[in-house]
Structure 1
């Protein structure tokens, strides 16, 4: 039996796509093995959000060949899409596919096995108008399933390479989404995460559906107890949106609303489509209408031209909003994006310093948010054993607080009531109650 191994870099969408491709290989008779093991075929799903992502992708390609020098190495994903020639030249790469036609990967592999050599199947993603179906029936993780509902992005933020890597917005049909969710519910999954490259754009390119419509329909599926949304835009959170979700008990009160900067002039240079005032109004709408809501976000430091005052504005705004969690990352210059040629690029040491300040602020906010829930009883979906702590299990509350409890492996996949006792840096120690 031939063996195949997979490695995923980057986002939840990439993870979903790797799961789907792994299933295709399994159905074709391959045994799926760990990436560190010897395999006949290695598939590396790459990311290109930062220069570091590119470098990691190249490292994993080389590692695959070291594991078995006679293996076939297939490179797919965003880095493959944006730099196919560069990827093709990496020693050991046999097949480059990109972010479309991945459903034909086995066909391409067969052709390669017959004729040998190297193949590059990367096409023009900007001309793609159809959503490519890559369904998942079984996840290796038993508690939470990611459902890809949308592909591509039309936003063209000045720092971002992703629209060029993923192409224009394509929405998945309601029928296929609901069929996949129903199958996962039947397999025992309690939580689904609706994800995509730009989830807020779902339905913009097809008739008679919208993000609200698909949430509503997933909400009706029996067996699904929790629904989460991938990252959304502040412009999505309107009064109409909040009114629509208010009665949806399965929709988790946790919203990841991308901020990027808390300074209006920086947001403008980034080509973000909102102001800090509009962002704050979205957060207020959620907090006024939903109980225990958690707002999480991403913030970038060191965008070209960001002055000390602009950075300080971001810090002040972030403290004003008080996020439950905040991911901080440094601007990375991406060739082919407008911001790469902007003047006043920020020095690496300045980015490092700003990043450290915001990460410390993020930790304080998370601790403050967690402390506000101590003494409360909340339902926790237990996901896995705590690494390095024998006899402890961890999981998430609906509002995305990570909780650790004494417990056995048999509670994995169960939703149990937990008394939240002691807030730590980024989790709470709890005790299961009947």
Structure 2
């Protein structure tokens, strides 16, 4: 019997990456082997993103080219874009199966059934009827040092620009027991760092009223062999005195906090329906740095939101200078059909968005350089991940605060955490020597 092949393509966030890996593993466990997406495969799966218009366009491009090598293959489209725009996807004739952000645990059986009867399927359901966390399981990732652990899904915040609550439904949390069980399995597979991910990670456990992110962190801390716990994207409001105390006292929690900002102007934040002020954001950052001075604060910043005046934009620029972010993802506002912001007056022109985006990128480049250079001459621990230059015996890895560091080290040090003295900063990389 000829071994069947599967190829996958993931767009978007870390949650999507986790879900793709889980789906891939379900096929590998049933006799499939993995192929590169550009090569021949019997089944192609595209996990889509819809957070911006660019995500939609990229998703369509990948879907259309999926069957170019094997027109007789099975093409499955899943994810957030599939959940919110199933009609658009079904207009693409090459698509065989569409499912959204639920039902991924049954995908192998669905494909098996399609192979037998070749009947096109639309399995996108009402995501708001999804009340339980969908248990998907993984045991592997390409990177053998760091794995994602999905512990939460859904979002109840309804920011005025965001389509994700409509794509993911209401908040659902993974049980403490199942989260710890999978974490142990990943650590046993060789991973020493876990990244906790969710659509709105800060809401973990909120629907149960007696569980929170602190409980999960404490439970994971007891896993033998787990060296690092990295937190995914959070909001400033979670950084209460108690939460900061929990993570500051925990030696496994990485001092890298991605705290979503979106705008440094209170008027803009209010129109966005973000539930914090710039003052509250600054207070969270100040409190984090008081307890954990080496912390990297990273963020997301949107430019060109409807009604964003030159004055509002300048407030964001000044706020960036004040916070001194270690890094940031800058993106331009994109109209999302069905959201409140799509109908707001004073939409900002594309050329102004582009101009503002370039300025924000420049500001972040400066603050990132300043943050990285603050480690010159200091010693820090690095988890080495992969070769940087094999001929020169150079390995690269990440510090706990997520800076890339390169040092001379033998191949067997991959997957190990070693102390490095930082000697040089070049672009976005620090170079040092193992001590």
- TM band (smaller chain): over 0.9
Within a 5 Å distance, the mapping from 1:31-430 to structure 2 comes to: 31-386=33-388, 391-430=393-432
Q: Distance in 2 between matches of 1:239 and 1:219?
A: 20
Superposition RMSD on alpha carbons, in Å? 1.3
Aligned residue for 2:99, secondary structure, equals strand
Q: Distance in 2 between matches of 1:388 and 1:261?
A: 42
Moved more, 378-387 or 176-185: 378-387
Q: Distance in 1 between matches of 2:320 and 2:6?
A: 45
Q: Quote the offset at 1:424 in angstroms.
A: 2.3
Aligned residue for 2:432, secondary structure, equals strand
Aligned residue for 2:105, secondary structure, equals helix
Deviations, residues 167-216 of structure 1 (Å, cap 9, x unaligned): 00000011110001111111221100011000000001125321000001
Deviations, residues 131-166 of structure 1 (Å, cap 9, x unaligned): 000011122210001000000000100111100000
Deviations, residues 303-347 of structure 1 (Å, cap 9, x unaligned): 000000000000001101111111111101111111111111101
* 1:388/1:352 CA distance change after superposition, 3 Å: farther
Moved more, 386-395 or 271-280: 386-395
Q: Distance in 1 between matches of 2:323 and 2:391?
A: 34
> Aligned residue pairs: how many?
433
Deviations, residues 279-310 of structure 1 (Å, cap 9, x unaligned): 00000110111131111111000000000000
Q: Quote the offset at 1:406 in angstroms.
A: 2.9
Q: Distance in 1 between matches of 2:278 and 2:143?
A: 37
Moved more, 290-299 or 222-231: 290-299
Deviations, residues 243-292 of structure 1 (Å, cap 9, x unaligned): 22221000011110000000000000000000000000000110111131
Q: Distance in 1 between matches of 2:95 and 2:318?
A: 47
Q: Which runs of 4+ in 1 moved over 4 A?
A: 387-390
- What is the TM-score normalised by the length of structure 2? 0.97
Contact 1:324/1:369, CA 8 A, preserved across alignment:
yes
Q: Quote the offset at 1:405 in angstroms.
A: 2.1
Aligned residue for 1:382, secondary structure, equals strand
Q: Distance in 1 between matches of 2:309 and 2:69?
A: 47
* 1:147/1:387 CA distance change after superposition, 3 Å: farther
Q: Quote the offset at 1:390 in angstroms.
A: 6.0
Q: Which runs of 5+ in 2 are unaligned?
A: none
Q: Distance in 1 between matches of 2:21 and 2:89?
A: 22
Match of residue 16, structure 1, among 3, 15, 18: 18
Contact 1:19/1:136, CA 8 A, preserved across alignment:
yes
